[in-house]
Structure 1
């Protein structure tokens, strides 16, 4: 029987331990082997150490802090890197942000096999999600299904380059410095910043208002 290696990625070690404890009840039935990672840096190292084979499933908290090296600006960006290098890995996203724009963005970018809102997660939901994804099905927790069925579904997509712009602005970098860190010309970055302000509802606002809106939506 195929061994299903499950990488649980969360910056709260007690959460990881709790998930392992909960999933122990189906570990034998699904032939699961648990692995842990508590940071973007930890996962990036695991990716560098793996030439071809990676984990069958990644349970990913998209609210992870950025890597210290700046390669991944958060959990969603990390997920994109996993998806790009190891397309066979199935990704179950988890987030504490119950916001339609966050969910929309993640569906656009990652197309995860599973999506869990943390307030939905209990023993049954976690077991159902992992069991479904192992068996080749998708699983979305109740709040995700409700938000996706909302008639006011928003189309707010903040791609990897836009997140890098927001991330570097949040660190205090000046606009003229961003081309040194982002592979775009300054005019292109300016256009993207203008589009971001419109997307996030602060079209005529300052950079600080843009960053506040981005934090509220969970993009930084």
Structure 2
């Protein structure tokens, strides 16, 4: 993904936060980015339906006014909608509070390219996050990383399905075959594997054989 011309969906019910995101994005992009802005679940849903195929990166706040008619209760529901209809879109999940970040659920269902506690995010980090995401990498803010690295949380993002996937990898199965056997979307599976590599601190995150080896050494499988 080139950052010369990018389109962003920004959904947050705090206008001043939207402006901060926009300032950072404008500094990052070589050419003027396109912004689609929404302030609650309803307007976010409507924008996704209208311009979802034009979006490159979506910033989604978790806690916002609901859209009950479509059962959209949070930014996570909007993220699920994007993953279903526009899987190429890169997703950044944001929250003001760490207790809203149910890491296991978010990684399992959405596999976002970014997860951020808003108080962690400063201007340099925003630029760094965009660089990583545009390079098809992932970004977790400081508090999220500490939660994962804490002994109580270290492997909380690894669920039963992940262990099945890692076991199949250790048996030499390809990503394509695993996706087919488990009826998973290949793109989401690849992103999930990348997140697992991050959680397990695998030095070369694209090395699936090394990922499987680490899973065995850490007694995850």
Does the aligned pair in 2 maintain the 1:40–1:67 contact within 8 Å?
yes
For residue 131 of structure 1, report the CA deviation from its aligned partner.
1.9
For residue 112 of structure 1, report the CA deviation from its aligned partner.
0.4
Distance 1:105 1:55 in 2: 24
Distance 1:69 1:137 in 2: 35
C-alpha change, 1:70 and 1:156, in structure 2 (3 Å) is: farther
C-alpha change, 1:101 and 1:64, in structure 2 (3 Å) is: closer
Q: Does 1:14 align with 2:23?
A: no
The gaps in structure 1 that reach 5 residues or longer are: 158-220
Does the aligned pair in 2 maintain the 1:100–1:147 contact within 8 Å?
no
Does the aligned pair in 2 maintain the 1:6–1:58 contact within 8 Å?
yes
Does the aligned pair in 1 maintain the 2:95–2:116 contact within 8 Å?
yes
- 1:45-78 CA deviation, whole Å, 9 max, x = no partner? 122224x723010011111221142431111111
Distance 2:156 2:138 in 1: 21
The gaps in structure 2 that reach 5 residues or longer are: 159-221
Q: Equivalent residue of 1:116, what SS? A: strand
For residue 35 of structure 1, report the CA deviation from its aligned partner.
2.4
- 1:123-142 CA deviation, whole Å, 9 max, x = no partner? 11111112211121111111
CA RMSD of aligned residues (A): 2.4
Structure 2 partner of 1:41: 42
Structure 2 partner of 1:88: 88
Q: Matched residue pairs, number?
A: 155
Structure 2 partner of 1:148: 148
Structure 2 partner of 1:113: 113
1:68-107 alignment, distance < 5 Å: 68-99=68-99, 102-107=102-107
TM-score normalised to structure 2 length: 0.63
TM-score normalised to structure 1 length: 0.63
Distance 2:72 2:78 in 1: 5
Distance 1:10 1:87 in 2: 21
C-alpha change, 1:27 and 1:101, in structure 2 (3 Å) is: closer
Does the aligned pair in 2 maintain the 1:65–1:73 contact within 8 Å?
yes
Q: Equivalent residue of 2:21, what SS? A: helix
- Which 4+ runs in 1 deviate beyond 6 A? none
